[in-house]
Amino acid sequence: MNTKETFDGPQARAYSMEYGVVVGLLCSASFLCTMYGASSILLAQVSNVLALIAVYVAGRLIRSFRTNVASLTFGRTCYMALLTYLFAILLTALVQYVYFAYFDQGRLMTQIDHLLSMPEYRQWLEQFAQGGDIDSLLDGVLQTMRNPVSMTFQLMWLNCLLALLAIVPTALIAMGGKQEGESKK
Q: What is the mean pLDDT of residues 163-171?
A: 95
The verdict on residue 14 lying in a domain is: yes
- The whole-chain average pLDDT of the chain stands at 85
Q: Rounded mean pLDDT of 30-36?
A: 92
Q: Where is 90: in which H helix or E strand?
A: helix 74-98
The verdict on residue 119 lying in a domain is yes
Instruction: Give mean pLDDT, residues 128-139.
Output: 70
185 in any annotated domain: no
Q: What is the pLDDT of residue 183?
A: 47
Q: What is the b/e burial string over 107-131, where b = at least 16 CB atoms within 10 angstroms of the residue's CB? A: ebeeeeeeeeeeeeeeeeeeeeeee
SS3 annotation, 29-63: HHHHHHHHCCCCHHHHHHHHHHHHHHHHHHHHHHH
Containing structural domain, residue 52: 9-174
Question: Is residue 138, in this structure, part of any structural domain at all?
Answer: yes
Is 139 a domain residue?
yes
Domain assignment present for residue 183? The answer is no
Domain count, the chain: 1
In a domain, 155, yes or no: yes
pLDDT tens across 45-69, in order?
Answer: 999 999 999 999 999 999 999 988 8
**DSSP designation for 104:** -
Is residue 1 in some structural domain?
no
